[in-house]
Amino acid sequence: MSSMPGFKHRMNLMAALVLLGIFLMAGWKIANRLPASDFLTLPQQTDASARALRVTQAVGSTASLPPPQQSPDGRFHFDARFASSSPGQAVHAASIVELRDGRLRAVWFSGSREGAGDVVIKTSVMEPESLRWSEETTLLDRQHLQQGLWRYVKKIGNPVIARMPDDSLVLWMVNVSVGGWAGSSITWLRSTDDGMSWSLPRRLVTSPFLNISTLAKGAPIFYQDGQIGLPVYHEFVSKFAEILRISPEGQVLDKTRIPRSQTSLQPVVLVSSARQAQIYMRSGHSTAVMASETVDAGKTWSATHATAWPNPDSALAGVVTATSQQWLALNPKPKNREILALLQTSAAGSFEGAIPWVVESSPTPEIRLPVSDYERLLGDELQKQGASQAQIQADVASAKRQLCGSATCLQEFSYPYLLQSRDGYLHLVYTWHRSRIKHVRLDPRQVLQPDATRHAASAAH
């Protein structure tokens, strides 16, 4: 018995030495951090060349395209299709990449519900001449992931696909072995044939200890030395955002936490020059879009601050075009995800005061629809897109299961992802009522017209 106090003292001393060693190792790593390379920026494109490129692509193909749709407020036009095709599934978190031949490949997760054991990663490919999407196929499931990783996988989600500087495709995705999303880690795969085949899955090691609580959602950025910057976020104990610096071989070389980003999630990085970038984040407290900036290529970031745009605890997306214009996709209302809009930076490079390009909106924002009206609304849209009665019934049932109560329903247009293709068009994919992945293509150079809905309301009075 007399030896117990001495044993406890030695154990406490050992624990203190271990902690001291960890802090010293972290300090050494920070002190010896590799010098940050500048950001890799897109080659700028003149207005004339971008317009000519679109005209060249459109010749001979416009006859096969259906007439464009008008935005809910009548201010602009776009083309819209469903990228997903299997009815009755809960679908979410789509991302998109352009293939070498000009087609687009989208990926998303699909299953009976988010986090269920039957969730798989789906993919589909779009033909640019007709804007038609192929029948979706399964790219990855839990069993494939378990076999490749040699570990149990409980659930999967949030696939992010992107083209690397070496022209390969990389797919990052979130997977959980134990617990909820806070116990996530990131797995990645590579394809050298535009997604026809993929390498064995590999874990992204972000921590030498538990290697958990790292999730991805936003598109990667690139550095001039060939390294990759992956925006990620954490949900274990406290929420915060950070940027992982990854080698072309998939090794995490460094990571930088965004200061004061507690409660901020799913960062989106927009590179404006070789040294400057802005980061925008979802607010976990449903307040405003959160932001931070760097002027030294991401070596340091400013303290996170709120922007003037509200955020209903919902994901964002962003893209920098070949003409250096920045765009954000977001839900611009403080309480729900019933309006999805695009923002374009002003001449001063700011989103403050931007006029939203409303892509989709509930006819009664902030007012729940009765179930019967909701069923009719979804059925009409699905029928316009060519769905059969059986498909309509399955999709409406899936949406009701996720978004309806006993008498009323929410509408949801969420989790956007943005891409500019080589022909200059913007492509937006997003979750439509949790039952389909929707794709919108629009010309970013069209002039935003006056709000037709306001003119109609004024005329009525």
Residue 387 in contact with residue 87, Cβ under 8 Å?
yes
Mean of the per-residue pLDDT values of the chain:
88
Q: What is the mean pLDDT of residues 51-80?
A: 70
Checking if the pLDDT of 382 tops 80, the result is: yes
pLDDT of res. 82: 96
Least confident interval from 45-49, 166-170, 376-380: 45-49
Instruction: Put the strands of the sheet holding 202-204 in their side by side order.
Output: 155-163, 169-176, 184-191, 202-204
Least confident of 168-172, 174-178, 229-233: 174-178
How distant, in Å, are the alpha carbons of 38, 259, 266, 294 from that of 284?
31, 16, 10, 22
What is the enclosing helix (H) or strand (E) of 25?
helix 3-31
Q: Specify the pLDDT at position 453.
A: 66
Q: What band does 48 get if pLDDT is binned at 50, 70 and 90?
A: very low
Which tokens sit at 322?
Answer: 């070949």
Write the DSSP string, 27-86.
HHHHHTPPPPPPBP-PPP--HHHHHHHHHHHHTTTGGGSPPPEEPTTSS-EEEEEES---
At 222-269, the pLDDT tens digits run 999 999 999 999 987 778 999 999 999 999 999 999 999 998 999 999
pLDDT confidence of residue 57: 46
Measured at the CA of 81, the angle between CA 378 and CA 136, to 5 degrees, comes to: 100
User: Tokens for 344?
Assistant: 């374009």
> Among residues of the chain, what percentage have pLDDT more than 90?
74
For residue range 410-432, what is the model confidence (pLDDT) as tens digits?
999 999 999 999 999 999 999 99
DSSP type of residue 444: T
- Report pLDDT for 2: 47
Largest Cα–Cα separation, the chain: 92
SS3 of 307, please? strand
Please identify which residue in the block is written with the tokens 């617990």.
Answer: 179
Nearest to 305 by CA among 262, 272, 349: 262
**Rounded-to-integer distance, Cα 239 and Cα 233, Å:** 7
Average pLDDT over residues 341-346: 93
Cα gap 128→169, rounded to integer Å:
19
In the chain, what are the domains? Answer: 82-368+410-442 (2.120.10.10)
Q: What is the mean pLDDT of residues 106-127?
A: 95
- Cβ(350)–Cβ(342) below 8 Å: no
Q: Rounded mean pLDDT of 450-455?
A: 71
Place 51 in a pLDDT band, splitting at 50, 70 and 90: very low
pLDDT beyond 50 at 30:
no
C-alpha distances in angstroms, 116 versus 156, 171, 180, 359? 8, 21, 11, 30
Structure tokens at 145: 């992931």
For residue 151, how many other CB atoms are within 10 A of its CB? 12
How far CA 361 is from CA of 338, 357, 411, 425, in Å, comes to 6, 11, 9, 22
d(CA 249, CA 142): 24
What mean pLDDT comes out for the span 40-47?
A: 66
Percent of the chain with pLDDT over 70: 84
pLDDT for 236: 78
Q: What is the mean pLDDT of residues 287-313?
A: 96
Distance separating alpha carbons of residues 157 and 23, to the nearest angstrom: 33
The phi, psi pair for 80, rounded to 5°, reads -140, 140
162 in Cβ contact with 231 (< 8 Å): no
Q: Which residues contact 256 (CB under 8 A, 6 or more apart)?
A: 242, 243, 245, 298, 299, 300, 301
Residues 6+ apart with CB under 8 A from 453: 72, 73, 74
CA distance 335 to 156: 28
Q: Is the pLDDT of residue 3 over 60?
A: no
Task: Look at residue 458 and tell me whether its pLDDT is greater than 70.
Answer: no
pLDDT on residue 20: 57
Question: Within 13 Å of residue 403, how many CA atoms lie on the same side as its CB?
Answer: 29
Reported confidence tier of residue 65, pLDDT bands at 50, 70, 90: confident
Whole-number pLDDT of residue 107: 98
For residue 338, pLDDT beyond 80: yes
| Distance between CA atoms of residues 85 and 380, nearest Å | 17
Q: What is the mean pLDDT of residues 442-447?
A: 95
Model confidence band, residue 58 (pLDDT cutoffs 50, 70, 90): very low
Contact 286, 252 (CB under 8 A): no
Contact 62, 128 (CB under 8 A): no
